A and B are shown apart, each in its own frame.
Chain A
Amino acid sequence: MKQLITFIRKEFLHVFRDRKTLLMLFGLPIAQIVLFGFALSNEVKNSRIAVTDYSKDPVTTQLIDKISSSSYFNIQRNLTSATQIDAAFKKGDIRMAVIFPPNFSTDLTHTGKATIQVIADASDPNLATTITNYITRIVGDFNTTTALSAGQPLQILPEVQMLYNPELRGAPNFVPGVMALVLMLVCTMMTSVAIVKEKELGTMEILLVSPFKPIYIIISKLTPNLLISIVNLFVILILSALFLDLGVKGSIVLLVFDSMLFILTSLSIGLLLSINAKTQQSAMMASLMGMMLPTMLLTGFLFPIENMPWPMQVLANLVPSRWYFIIVKRVMLKGMGFGAVWKETLILAGMCFVLFAISLRKFKIRLQ
């Protein structure tokens, strides 16, 4: 018994003397509560929607007022044509469109019933279901609290149409997210561990004291991971097409090109992480803690970015996978071309270039 206590006391001493572990033990729960309690939520607020009113009568104005005053929605613009609406969806500017048809008021006055068209972007099926539910509730509420005449409740019926993913399958949302996560994790972890392993073995010393230029060391370490990741990419795409009925609607070439950019960016991050890591274990921890969490939380496939508080949105913009996710969804699901993703591609390319340049400069040609 006494021996047990002695051992336990020693274990406490070890823990309290290891500052890094302490930070993680106490810091992590606090960070998690803050994150999940305040910043990330499945609650949907301020979703960007478009409202188009072809009828323009007092009822529609009232209803639109009610919609805009709700905190769930952020009415983006007044689109006036079907093509505009289509374009806005494709660009991802809006999640939902509410359209009042031209015969709305006449229908309502004569029959007491009218329909409004609700179109939702179902590439994130959970989000789409939630916001269509909100709109349905708001309309229903409006129905019961407003009477036209003779105290009869209105019957305004929303006709819901789900775009891009009418069956509301989860795959179209999580496959791109998984792609980003897997590629990011594999590249950063494998690269950082491979470089640190060389340091641990001591062979890095010999390589440095040789005519072999450091840049060649870097290229050699990155190349196998690049190739393996491309293979991984194709495996995921083929599996999604075969088993999840999720093919690539747009250009595969574009998708592969952007994927390679993303892979290179992740490899550079792995390179950066390896520079300060002394053991393979710390390299792996840095990759997991440092990259997996932000990627999972801030890419946008688990928690929509537009629902986050402003500081988190800024942070999310720094995560490469956030941009890659947008590109993949647009090319794979919505079948869009380079014109729709050039901005995101440019951002990704910029990140890749900057990260690679920094890690090249910081790569130590000496031990210390």
Chain B
Amino acid sequence: MSSTTSPPVITTDKLTKRFGQFIAANELTFKVAKGEIFGFLGANGAGKTTAMRMLCGLLKPSSGKATIAGFDVYTQTEKIKRSIGYMSQKFSLYDDLTVSENIRFYAGIYGMSRPKIKEKTTQLLQELQLEKEAKTLVSELPLGWKQKLAFSVSIVHDPDIVFLDEPTGGVDPVTRRQFWDLIYHASDRGVTVFVTTHYMDEAEYCNRVSIMVDGVIAALDSPTRLKQQFGRDNMEDVFYELARKATRKGD
């Protein structure tokens, strides 16, 4: 449940990124509360990836301000990286390492102590019902299990925020929903979830959704209010309504 009493976990103020003449992200201004599930939508080429990279501390903005978990995006990128988790569809785990090796590796990277790593590993394996597969190479796991494991590993160090880049692409409908159960659990524990997705029904699971078009945030509100605002029944139609006016056909 999103909290309104703690300070916002993400704040941006006219955050902009220019590549030469091209303005990839234009004066983005928004706040995300602690424990919120925030959907970050937009067509390909709308500027989503650029925005996410800036928020992760991977790309230096051209202008504007932003803080992630209270740390400044220009001067404290190392502290930001330690407070966030990241998972993308393309990469999350090492295929030629086993399940427990992957967990141990990522936990170790985040500087967790040995006893803590052990504790977390057991806990994760139990939660995901992967105890029997602890010594299996990740390459041999079915896609859905891989994705669920990747998500759990991305929050193994209990970060304040986790960034999910199209985490459920190509996964079967049942596993998709199990994945979102995991997201809900994380949100309940106070982890803020920043997720992008192409599945419009998943947009409905978010507390609030922003839609980027041509580098700008064209809409930002809860799914219910967005549907009211645009007079549509579902998020897909809302998205379509906004996206088809886009001039940028993407790269």
For the complex with contacts A6-B104, A7-B105, A10-B105, 12 further pairs of A-B residues with Cβ separation under 8 Å are A3-B109, A5-B108, A6-B108, A6-B109, A9-B105, A10-B94, A10-B97, A13-B96, A13-B101, A17-B96, A17-B97, A18-B96
Min CB distance B44 to A, Å, is: 20
Bound CA span A274–B110, Å: 43
Is the C-beta of A14 less than 8 angstroms from some C-beta in chain B? yes
Report the nearest A residue to B97, measured CB to CB. A13
- Complex interface: chain A residues within 8 A of B105 (CB): 6-7, 9-10
- Complex interface: chain B residues within 8 A of A9 (CB): 105, 108
Is the C-beta of A2 less than 8 angstroms from some C-beta in chain B? yes
- Complex interface: chain B residues within 8 A of A18 (CB): 96
Chain A residues within 8 Å of B, Cβ to Cβ: 2-3, 5-7, 9-10, 13-14, 17-18
Could you tell me if A3 and B94 are in contact, using CB atoms closer than 8 angstroms?
no
- Complex interface: chain B residues within 8 A of A6 (CB): 104-105, 108-109
Min CB distance A352 to B, Å, is: 41
Task: In the A-B complex, list the 5 residue pairs whose CB atoms are closest, starting with the nearest.
Answer: A6-B108, A17-B96, A10-B105, A3-B109, A3-B111
Docked complex: B91-116 residues within 8 A CB-CB of A:
94, 96-97, 101, 104-105, 108-111
Could you tell me if A3 and B108 are in contact, using CB atoms closer than 8 angstroms?
yes
Could you tell me if A14 and B96 are in contact, using CB atoms closer than 8 angstroms?
yes
Report the nearest B residue to A16, measured CB to CB. B96
Report the nearest A residue to B110, measured CB to CB. A3
15 A-B pairs, CB-CB below 8 angstroms?
A2-B108, A3-B111, A5-B108, A6-B104, A6-B109, A7-B105, A7-B108, A7-B109, A10-B97, A13-B96, A13-B101, A14-B96, A14-B97, A17-B96, A18-B96
Contact indicator per residue, chain B 134-166, by CB within 8 Å of chain A (1) or not (0): 000000000000000000000000000000000
- Complex interface: chain A residues within 8 A of B96 (CB): 13-14, 17-18
Bound CA span A7–B105, Å: 7
- Complex interface: chain A residues within 8 A of B110 (CB): 3
- Complex interface: chain B residues within 8 A of A2 (CB): 108, 111
Bound CA span A3–B94, Å: 17
Which secondary structure characterizes the binding site on chain A? helix
Min CB distance B102 to A, Å, is: 9
Min CB distance B116 to A, Å, is: 11
- Complex interface: chain A residues within 8 A of B101 (CB): 10, 13
- Complex interface: chain A residues within 8 A of B97 (CB): 10, 13-14, 17
- Complex interface: chain A residues within 8 A of B111 (CB): 2-3
Report the nearest A residue to B98, measured CB to CB. A13
Could you tell me if B108 and A14 are in contact, using CB atoms closer than 8 angstroms?
no
- Complex interface: chain A residues within 8 A of B94 (CB): 10, 14
Bound CA span A8–B25, Å: 37
Report the nearest A residue to B114, measured CB to CB. A2
Bound CA span A88–B59, Å: 73
Bound CA span A14–B137, Å: 12
Bound CA span A3–B110, Å: 7
Bound CA span A5–B107, Å: 12
Contact indicator per residue, chain B 46-80, by CB within 8 Å of chain A (1) or not (0): 00000000000000000000000000000000000
Which residue, A6, A7, A9, A13, has most C-beta atoms of chain B within 10 A? A6
Report the nearest B residue to A13, measured CB to CB. B97
Bound CA span A14–B105, Å: 12
Which residue, A9, A10, A17, A18, has most C-beta atoms of chain B within 10 A? A10
- Complex interface: chain A residues within 8 A of B109 (CB): 3, 6-7
- Complex interface: chain B residues within 8 A of A7 (CB): 105, 108-109
Report the nearest A residue to B117, measured CB to CB. A6
Bound CA span A63–B104, Å: 77
Bound CA span A3–B105, Å: 9
Min CB distance B140 to A, Å, is: 13
Bound CA span A7–B97, Å: 13
Report the nearest B residue to A14, measured CB to CB. B96
Bound CA span A57–B115, Å: 94
Report the nearest B residue to A10, measured CB to CB. B105
Bound CA span A3–B109, Å: 5
Min CB distance B81 to A, Å, is: 12
Min CB distance A249 to B, Å, is: 57
- Complex interface: chain A residues within 8 A of B104 (CB): 6
- Complex interface: chain B residues within 8 A of A10 (CB): 94, 97, 101, 105
- Complex interface: chain B residues within 8 A of A13 (CB): 96-97, 101
Min CB distance A90 to B, Å, is: 59
